[in-house]
Amino acid sequence: QKEVEQNSGPLSVPEGAIASLNCTYSDRGSQSFFWYRQYSGKSPELIMFIYSNGDKEDGRFTAQLNKASQYVSLLIRDSQPSDSATYLCAVKRDNQGGKLIFGQGTELSVKP
Amino acid sequence: DAGVIQSPRHEVTEMGQEVTLRCKPISGHNSLFWYRQTMMRGLELLIYFNNNVPIDDSGMPEDRFSAKMPNASFSTLKIQPSEPRDSAVYFCASSRTTQNTGELFFGEGSRLTVL
Protein backbone atom coordinates (compact mmCIF):
# COMPACT_ATOMS: atom_id res chain seq x y z
CA GLN A 1 0.00 0.00 0.00
CA LYS A 2 1.32 3.41 -0.94
CA GLU A 3 1.67 5.91 1.88
CA VAL A 4 -0.37 8.53 0.04
CA GLU A 5 -2.91 7.56 -2.59
CA GLN A 6 -4.76 9.68 -5.10
CA ASN A 7 -6.83 8.92 -8.17
CA SER A 8 -4.61 9.73 -11.12
CA GLY A 9 -7.50 11.04 -13.20
CA PRO A 10 -7.81 12.80 -15.43
CA LEU A 11 -10.69 14.53 -13.73
CA SER A 12 -12.60 16.68 -16.17
CA VAL A 13 -15.04 19.36 -15.04
CA PRO A 14 -16.78 22.20 -16.90
CA GLU A 15 -15.81 25.77 -16.21
CA GLY A 16 -17.65 27.14 -13.19
CA ALA A 17 -18.22 23.74 -11.61
CA ILE A 18 -16.80 22.40 -8.34
CA ALA A 19 -13.79 20.13 -8.68
CA SER A 20 -13.30 17.61 -5.89
CA LEU A 21 -9.90 16.01 -5.40
CA ASN A 22 -9.35 13.22 -2.91
CA CYS A 23 -6.43 11.71 -1.06
CA THR A 24 -5.99 8.94 1.49
CA TYR A 25 -2.94 8.20 3.61
CA SER A 26 -1.81 5.13 5.49
CA ASP A 27 0.30 6.53 8.36
CA ARG A 28 -1.91 7.41 11.32
CA GLY A 29 1.01 9.40 12.74
CA SER A 30 0.68 11.96 9.96
CA GLN A 31 0.01 15.39 11.39
CA SER A 32 0.21 17.88 8.53
CA PHE A 33 -1.38 17.76 5.12
CA PHE A 34 -0.64 19.76 2.02
CA TRP A 35 -2.00 20.36 -1.45
CA TYR A 36 0.42 21.35 -4.20
CA ARG A 37 -0.41 22.33 -7.74
CA GLN A 38 1.89 21.46 -10.62
CA TYR A 39 1.40 22.85 -14.10
CA SER A 40 2.76 20.78 -16.96
CA GLY A 41 6.52 21.18 -17.21
CA LYS A 42 6.71 23.26 -14.04
CA SER A 43 7.59 22.63 -10.43
CA PRO A 44 5.05 22.05 -7.64
CA GLU A 45 3.77 25.06 -5.71
CA LEU A 46 1.88 25.06 -2.42
CA ILE A 47 -1.84 25.85 -2.50
CA MET A 48 -2.97 25.02 1.03
CA PHE A 49 -2.04 23.18 4.19
CA ILE A 50 -4.28 21.85 6.95
CA TYR A 51 -3.57 20.37 10.37
CA SER A 52 -6.91 20.11 12.15
CA ASN A 53 -9.96 18.05 11.37
CA GLY A 54 -12.60 19.95 9.47
CA ASP A 55 -12.54 22.49 6.70
CA LYS A 56 -10.14 25.25 5.85
CA GLU A 57 -11.10 27.80 3.22
CA ASP A 58 -8.89 30.09 1.16
CA GLY A 59 -10.62 31.90 -1.65
CA ARG A 60 -12.01 29.37 -4.11
CA PHE A 61 -10.16 26.53 -2.40
CA THR A 62 -11.33 24.45 0.56
CA ALA A 63 -9.26 21.73 2.16
CA GLN A 64 -11.03 19.09 4.23
CA LEU A 65 -9.38 16.74 6.70
CA ASN A 66 -10.77 13.68 8.44
CA LYS A 67 -8.03 12.03 10.49
CA ALA A 68 -10.27 9.19 11.68
CA SER A 69 -10.85 8.17 8.08
CA GLN A 70 -7.32 9.16 7.02
CA TYR A 71 -8.78 11.25 4.27
CA VAL A 72 -7.95 14.66 2.83
CA SER A 73 -9.74 16.47 0.06
CA LEU A 74 -9.48 19.67 -1.92
CA LEU A 75 -12.51 21.43 -3.35
CA ILE A 76 -12.09 24.05 -6.04
CA ARG A 77 -15.18 26.21 -6.50
CA ASP A 78 -15.97 28.08 -9.71
CA SER A 79 -13.28 26.11 -11.54
CA GLN A 80 -11.41 28.01 -14.23
CA PRO A 81 -9.42 26.71 -17.21
CA SER A 82 -6.34 28.13 -15.46
CA ASP A 83 -6.92 25.57 -12.68
CA SER A 84 -6.06 22.78 -15.14
CA ALA A 85 -3.00 21.14 -13.61
CA THR A 86 -1.92 18.14 -11.56
CA TYR A 87 -2.75 18.39 -7.87
CA LEU A 88 -0.43 16.65 -5.46
CA CYS A 89 -1.41 15.64 -1.94
CA ALA A 90 1.44 15.46 0.59
CA VAL A 91 1.65 14.43 4.24
CA LYS A 92 4.17 15.02 7.00
CA ARG A 93 4.90 13.60 10.41
CA ASP A 94 6.03 16.60 12.38
CA ASN A 95 8.62 14.58 14.23
CA GLN A 96 10.34 13.96 10.93
CA GLY A 97 11.09 17.57 10.27
CA GLY A 98 10.16 18.83 6.86
CA LYS A 99 9.96 15.46 5.12
CA LEU A 100 6.91 15.45 2.82
CA ILE A 101 5.57 12.29 1.23
CA PHE A 102 3.66 12.97 -1.96
CA GLY A 103 0.88 11.11 -3.71
CA GLN A 104 1.01 10.42 -7.43
CA GLY A 105 -1.17 13.42 -8.17
CA THR A 106 -4.57 13.91 -9.82
CA GLU A 107 -4.71 15.57 -13.21
CA LEU A 108 -7.52 18.12 -13.42
CA SER A 109 -8.86 19.47 -16.69
CA VAL A 110 -11.32 22.36 -16.64
CA LYS A 111 -13.15 22.68 -19.94
CA PRO A 112 -14.33 26.14 -21.10
CA ASP B 1 14.73 36.97 -3.24
CA ALA B 2 15.93 34.38 -5.67
CA GLY B 3 14.23 31.03 -5.50
CA VAL B 4 15.85 27.62 -5.45
CA ILE B 5 18.33 27.44 -8.30
CA GLN B 6 19.10 24.17 -10.03
CA SER B 7 21.53 23.31 -12.78
CA PRO B 8 21.64 22.02 -15.38
CA ARG B 9 18.03 22.40 -16.51
CA HIS B 10 18.46 19.64 -19.06
CA GLU B 11 21.05 16.89 -19.28
CA VAL B 12 21.33 14.21 -21.91
CA THR B 13 24.00 11.61 -21.35
CA GLU B 14 24.91 8.10 -22.26
CA MET B 15 24.61 5.10 -20.03
CA GLY B 16 27.62 4.68 -17.82
CA GLN B 17 28.49 8.36 -17.61
CA GLU B 18 28.62 10.33 -14.39
CA VAL B 19 25.93 12.92 -13.83
CA THR B 20 26.12 15.74 -11.30
CA LEU B 21 23.09 17.88 -10.49
CA ARG B 22 23.47 21.06 -8.51
CA CYS B 23 21.23 23.05 -6.21
CA LYS B 24 21.39 26.38 -4.42
CA PRO B 25 18.65 26.67 -1.78
CA ILE B 26 16.90 29.85 -0.76
CA SER B 27 19.07 31.90 1.58
CA GLY B 28 18.09 31.31 5.19
CA HIS B 29 16.43 27.96 4.57
CA ASN B 30 17.96 25.21 6.67
CA SER B 31 16.41 22.15 5.06
CA LEU B 32 17.11 20.85 1.59
CA PHE B 33 15.41 18.02 -0.25
CA TRP B 34 16.11 16.06 -3.42
CA TYR B 35 13.09 14.56 -5.16
CA ARG B 36 12.78 12.56 -8.35
CA GLN B 37 9.65 12.64 -10.50
CA THR B 38 8.60 10.11 -13.12
CA MET B 39 5.26 9.28 -14.66
CA MET B 40 5.31 5.81 -13.16
CA ARG B 41 6.39 6.60 -9.61
CA GLY B 42 5.38 10.21 -9.13
CA LEU B 43 7.39 12.48 -6.84
CA GLU B 44 9.75 10.45 -4.68
CA LEU B 45 11.93 11.79 -1.88
CA LEU B 46 15.52 10.69 -2.36
CA ILE B 47 17.29 12.40 0.53
CA TYR B 48 16.98 15.43 2.76
CA PHE B 49 19.35 17.52 4.83
CA ASN B 50 18.83 19.63 7.92
CA ASN B 51 21.55 22.19 8.63
CA ASN B 52 23.76 20.52 6.00
CA VAL B 53 23.50 17.11 7.68
CA PRO B 54 21.85 14.21 5.84
CA ILE B 55 18.85 13.13 7.89
CA ASP B 56 17.12 10.53 5.77
CA ASP B 57 18.58 8.91 2.66
CA SER B 58 16.26 5.90 2.65
CA GLY B 59 14.89 6.99 -0.73
CA MET B 60 18.23 6.86 -2.50
CA PRO B 61 17.77 4.03 -4.99
CA GLU B 62 21.18 2.39 -4.70
CA ASP B 63 24.85 3.01 -4.26
CA ARG B 64 25.09 4.66 -7.65
CA PHE B 65 23.42 7.70 -6.12
CA SER B 66 25.12 10.03 -3.69
CA ALA B 67 24.34 13.49 -2.35
CA LYS B 68 26.38 16.07 -0.52
CA MET B 69 25.76 19.41 1.10
CA PRO B 70 29.16 20.95 1.88
CA ASN B 71 27.63 24.24 3.05
CA ALA B 72 24.31 25.95 3.56
CA SER B 73 24.15 27.32 0.03
CA PHE B 74 25.06 24.35 -2.13
CA SER B 75 24.17 20.72 -2.65
CA THR B 76 24.92 18.11 -5.30
CA LEU B 77 23.28 14.89 -6.37
CA LYS B 78 25.59 12.55 -8.24
CA ILE B 79 24.76 9.45 -10.24
CA GLN B 80 27.65 7.21 -11.19
CA PRO B 81 27.31 5.24 -13.39
CA SER B 82 24.05 6.45 -14.89
CA GLU B 83 21.48 4.08 -16.36
CA PRO B 84 18.47 4.65 -18.66
CA ARG B 85 16.09 3.99 -15.75
CA ASP B 86 17.53 7.06 -14.01
CA SER B 87 15.83 9.26 -16.62
CA ALA B 88 13.53 11.59 -14.71
CA VAL B 89 13.07 15.15 -13.52
CA TYR B 90 15.09 15.79 -10.39
CA PHE B 91 13.79 18.54 -8.13
CA CYS B 92 15.61 20.27 -5.34
CA ALA B 93 13.49 22.00 -2.70
CA SER B 94 14.27 23.98 0.43
CA SER B 95 12.39 25.10 3.52
CA ARG B 96 12.77 26.50 7.00
CA THR B 97 12.31 23.69 9.46
CA THR B 98 9.52 24.75 11.77
CA GLN B 99 6.97 22.76 13.66
CA ASN B 100 3.90 24.29 12.13
CA THR B 101 4.59 24.77 8.46
CA GLY B 102 5.86 22.44 5.82
CA GLU B 103 6.03 24.55 2.74
CA LEU B 104 8.69 23.39 0.37
CA PHE B 105 9.96 25.78 -2.29
CA PHE B 106 10.93 23.86 -5.39
CA GLY B 107 13.50 24.65 -8.01
CA GLU B 108 12.61 24.39 -11.68
CA GLY B 109 14.04 20.89 -11.87
CA SER B 110 16.75 19.15 -13.84
CA ARG B 111 15.46 16.93 -16.62
CA LEU B 112 17.83 13.99 -17.04
CA THR B 113 17.79 11.70 -20.05
CA VAL B 114 20.12 8.71 -20.04
CA LEU B 115 20.44 7.04 -23.43
Dump pLDDT digits (tens) for B85-98.
999 999 999 988 65
Peptide linkage before B81 cis (omega within 30 of 0): yes
Q: Which residue in B has a C-alpha nearest to residue A48's C-alpha?
A: B103
* Ranges of residues in chain B whose predicted pLDDT is under 50: 99
Rg value, chain B, Cα: 13
Closest residue to B102, CB basis, from A32, A42, A43 = A32
User: DSSP characters for chain B?
Assistant: ----EEE-SEEEE-TT--EEEEEEPPTT--EEEEEEEETTTEEEEEEEEETTEEEE-TT--STTEEEEEEETTEEEEEESS--GGG-EEEEEEEE---SS----EE---EEEEE-
Give the mean pLDDT of A101-106. Answer: 94
Contact criterion met (CB < 8 Å) for B97 and A44:
no
Confidence of residue A48 (pLDDT cuts 50, 70, 90): very high
Nearest chain A CA: its distance from B109 CA (Å): 7
pLDDT at position A96: 59
Q: Which residue of B has its CA nearest to A89?
A: B43
At A80, which amino acid appears? Q
pLDDT at B68: 97
Alpha-carbon gap, residue B26 to B99, rounded angstroms: 19
A6 CB burial (10 A radius; 0-12, 13-18, 19+): buried
